[in-house]
A and B are shown apart, each in its own frame.
Chain A
Amino acid sequence: MKPKDVTVGQFLDSRHALCPGCGSAAAMAHVLSIVSKPLPSGRTKKIRAVVFPASCWSIGSGASGESFLGVNLVNVPFIAASAVAEGISIMSEREGRGEEELTIAWAGDGSSFDIGMGLLSGAASRNADILYVINDNQIYGNTGAQESGATPEGARTTTSVEGKEGIQKDIVSIMMAHSIPYFASAVLSPTTLTDFYEKVATAADMRGFRCLHLLSVCPPGWKCPTDSAPELGELAVSTRIFPLVEIKNGTLRLTHPKRVKPVEEFLKYQGRFSYLMSDEARLNSVKEKIERKWKYLSKLEEL
């Protein structure tokens, strides 16, 4: 599936309560448009429900029973999205509509990397028939940009005012260790559009536990301009800060940027990295880790 095959549909009512320039708002409209069209197998799926744990989307996606996304939404506690989605998909299966219905969990990084990781691990290990989207803005967005397990080292948050000290959890390895049918990381940006569309369509088309890890630019949290989502998405990939991987049947594929850019190109647009940018030793250590991670993934690609 190519981007030109899909017209982005009216999946996001203008009354949505997400911030101006929110990367995940655009990603949602694209994802729902892609999965509502005939998929690579020729099959078309119906969205049974999108399950939201507590996140920006709990308040952004509707009010008083009305869905601003044009599909059924089920709001659930912060920890619970994966297993709730599994329960919904079990009912599709039992009612003979497992092939045609799709249940999506759309969960933030706080929900996925941290509080809900145990339940996520359980649903993945049971190969629950759901599409689990990690909508990763690298912070607890809804509560005002606190540090999460996905926050990169050195990034400033309201609970790590001089930049995060600890590590960023390696979600690729964690999900890979669960031997799920499909895992892909993707970014919505002009140069990665085809990659994004293909991965979303592939994931939606399959059965079993599929996980999409989306990097979503968050202007208030990242302290960047509200029109920077496309460019920052692109830079996250070309600086190798956010490697685009796809793991299918245990085989890892890495999308190699045409031209690799220096890490600083990504960091310098964002106020959250101001401390890191002014501390050379720390910056070098972060850069080294990014480099090592890339090498590690490249080795895995060779297997």
Chain B
Amino acid sequence: MNGRLPFGPMVLTGNEAAALAFGLANPDAFGGYPITPSTEVTEEIAELALKHIIDTTYRNLDSELASIAFGIGVSTARGRYGTATSSQGLALMCELLHWASTARLPIVIANVNRSLGSPWSIHPDQSDSLLFRDMFLLQFYCKNVQEVLDMVLWAYRIAEGPGVSLPALVCFDGFMLSHTAENIIIPSKEKVLEFLPKRTPSENFNLPQYRADEPRNISCPTDWMKHQARKRSLVDAMQTAEGNIRHLVRREWTQIFGGAMQYEVNDGFFSEAGNSQSDTAVISMGAIAGTIEEATRGEDIGLISLRVFRPFPAKALHAKLVHCKKIVVFDRSILPSGEGIIANELRSRTALFPQQIYGFVGGFGGQNLSEKDFLHEIRTAMNSDHPEANTYWIGDKS
């Protein structure tokens, strides 16, 4: 990259696309700390900043904790902040990530999905970002490299939105997306600026511009009523985010970027393929959706790939699945209850999803999920009537 950010069609890896997206979002500061498989995002931003291709202040930090702390400072002082990490790095941020969320700081983190140890593994699953499913963080998941670029822009736009003001994770699978090159289209800087103008900070949570007469005390203790109101407002913020995504996709995104990068289907919450009228729907999230699509080409099945996990698009999913008799879920996460996390989300809303839910989990520690595996599992599920509490481990022959 020489002189300025590229635009138009290009072949990029997920990490390169994420770096470029941050470049386009032009945060005030970006904090770097290496971890496989997200390291290239950091390296690229460091170079873009060093060469003054972007005017972001880049800092090499001494840990992911320092990175999120630095981001809390930048964001409290009304700036835009970004960083990239994976698994152990994200987990290390836990205390401060919760603080950033409840202090309502719209920091965007690219999390390249990687299994969270022990044992060590650099292979992708979603046990790292989904560890934070109970935090008030927006979570986007990408199916391909184009989505990596687009979701970083969405993430800032939704996170910084009035009434939202929450941090966001943009998640994409290690190696499967981070290190795989695909054709994508890069929007121009001008259009991105139109979609994502300079941040307008929420006055409720940020340092005011300097005023001697009206000092603020941010995040100090309060009485229980105010504290409780703050908790409740987090729920409101998540709901606002859901509405804002719908609005954003229907209006601005489509108007500004037009044809090539469209997400109108299902208001952007998830993509679909296969036969949407089928009795059976298969739900997954992340890059495996592509493999499942290949596996089931020509089969009478509807496929859904979640793009937005938080806020969880329960209403949109219900509308899409209401006619289905069977829902098959492929999870790459596991809960102590023995279920995968997406399956658990659906089962916890029986009024919306009364169907039989067939839960499959797998893809841990580098397990290579082939098209054949998926087809086999899906057919088994379609032909069986097993109790929904069961979870099937893909590839488990015992």
Contact = CB atoms under 8 A, between A and B. Distances in A.
Interface of A: 46, 48-49, 51, 58-59, 61-77, 79-80, 82-94, 97, 101, 118-119, 121-123, 125-126
Contacts of A59: 221
B28 A118 contact: no
B221 A91 contact: no
Contact of A94 (B60, B66, B79, B212): B79
B217 A66 contact: yes
Contact of B219 (A74, A119, A121): A74
Contacts of B61: 83, 122
Contacts of B69: 76-77, 79-80, 82-84, 87, 119
Given A85-B73, A88-B207, A75 B212 contact: no
Question: From DSSP, what is the main secondary structure of chain B's interface residues?
Answer: mixed
Contacts of A123: 66
A140 to B, nearest CB: 17
B393 interface: no
Contacts of A83: 61, 65-67, 69-70, 72-73
Nearest to B225: A64
B391 interface: no
Given A59-B221, A72-B207, A72-B208, A91 B74 contact: yes
Contacts of A85: 73
A90 B74 contact: yes
Interface in B70-111: 70-79, 81, 95-96, 99
Contacts of B70: 83-84, 86-87, 90
Contacts of A49: 76-77, 207
A67 B62 contact: no
21 contacts: A64-B223, A64-B226, A65-B216, A66-B217, A69-B215, A71-B215, A72-B217, A73-B216, A74-B207, A80-B72, A80-B96, A83-B72, A84-B70, A87-B72, A88-B77, A88-B207, A90-B73, A91-B79, A93-B57, A97-B210, A101-B210
A99 to B, nearest CB: 13
Contact of A84 (B76, B216, B222): B76
B219 to A, nearest CB: 4
A61 B218 CA distance: 11
A61 B208 CA distance: 18
Nearest to A52: B220
Interface residues of B, number: 40
B355 interface: no
B323 interface: no
Given A74-B76, A90-B57, A79 B215 contact: no
Interface in B130-147: none
Most central of A68, A77, A121, A126 by chain B CB within 10 Å: A77
Contacts of B223: 64
Q: Which of B29, B69, B222 has the most CB of A within 10 A?
A: B69
B372 interface: no
Contact of B63 (A51, A90, A118): A118
Given A91-B78, A119-B65, A119-B69, A64 B99 contact: no
B59 interface: yes
Contacts of B96: 77, 79-80
